[in-house]
Amino acid sequence: MKKGLLAGTFDPPTWGHIEIIRRGANLVDELVVGIGKHASKNSPLYTFEEKKEGLLEELNQSSSIAIHQISGLLIDFARQNGIDVLIRGLRSHKDLEYEMQMARANFMLGGIETIFLPAGEKTALISSSLIRELASHDAPLSDFIPPYFSKTIHQKISER
Ligand code: COA
């Protein structure tokens, strides 16, 4: 049984993430969505529980997708959870250098391969920080993020 890990900060998850999760899940028997924290990113807008609830709502509780919190090194989580392969989305060539660095580091540290999936055309130019920026200007966001998040993000931003 092949187990994949798609890790990210997902703050908030976008339609682009949902697409990569669905396509990634088709490549393995079980896909773990690992919600972690990037060392240099500010405190997140959404808690792990909220991200999990919003993602599960969109993914229809699919039995081949599990959602876990990640703390510490990605490669340690991967080892402890029997992960065979890492999956990452690539939006454009701009992601490449950073993604190659992470993929190489994870291979050197744990001998684990990374599979890159090209992001869909419509979502290739968005990011979670762009969404947070748009939300702070009250822009409508349902074209970018799932309903759980588009209904709550303006309130979340105003509470900051
Ligand atoms: N659609 C929309 N946005 C996308 C996307 C897509 N298809 N693919 C990537 N992105 C965006 C994300 O929204 C995010 O945007 P942001 O920077 O504005 O938040 C950005 O691309 C990349 O972030 P993400 O995919 O969430 O990864 P990350 O770079 O924040 O890394 C971890 C998060 C948890 C994977 C990483 O920090 C990690 O592995 N941490 C554990 C510690 C560790 O082992 N570090 C060493 C790793 S070698």
Q: Is the beta carbon of 14 within 6 A of some atom in ligand 1?
A: yes
Mean pLDDT of the chain: 95
Asked if 37 is an active-site residue, the reply is no
Asked if 91 is an active-site residue, the reply is yes
- Of the candidates 51, 52, 91, 132, the residue annotated as catalytic is 91
Would you state the pLDDT for residue 160?
84
Q: How far, in Å, CA of 84 to CA of 31, rounded?
A: 10
- Between the CA of 55 and the centroid of ligand 1 the distance, in Å, is 16
- Name which residue sits closest to atom 37 of ligand 1, judged by CA: 38
Q: How far, in Å, CA of 160 to CA of 158, rounded?
A: 5
Note the pLDDT tens digit of each residue in 121-130: 888 889 999 9
Asked if 88 is an active-site residue, the reply is no
Q: Is the beta carbon of 127 within 6 A of some atom in ligand 1?
A: yes
pTM: 0.95
Instruction: Kindly indicate the confidence band of residue 147, based on its pLDDT and cuts at 50, 70 and 90.
Output: very high
**Whose CA is closest to 29, among 67, 80, 64?**
64
- Cα-Cα-Cα-Cα torsion 36, 22, 118, 80, nearest 10 degrees, comes to 40
Note the pLDDT tens digit of each residue in 83-124: 999 999 999 999 999 999 999 999 999 999 999 999 998 888
Q: Is the pLDDT of residue 78 over 90?
A: yes
Test site for ligand 1: of 35, 79, 128, 145, most ligand atoms within 8 A of the Cβ: 128
Q: How far, in Å, CA of 44 to CA of 137, rounded?
A: 18
Instruction: Kindly indicate the confidence band of residue 39, based on its pLDDT and cuts at 50, 70 and 90.
Output: confident
Asked if 150 is an active-site residue, the reply is no
HSE at residue 73, side-chain half, CA atoms within 13 A, is 10
Other C-beta atoms closer than 10 Å to the C-beta of 2 total 11
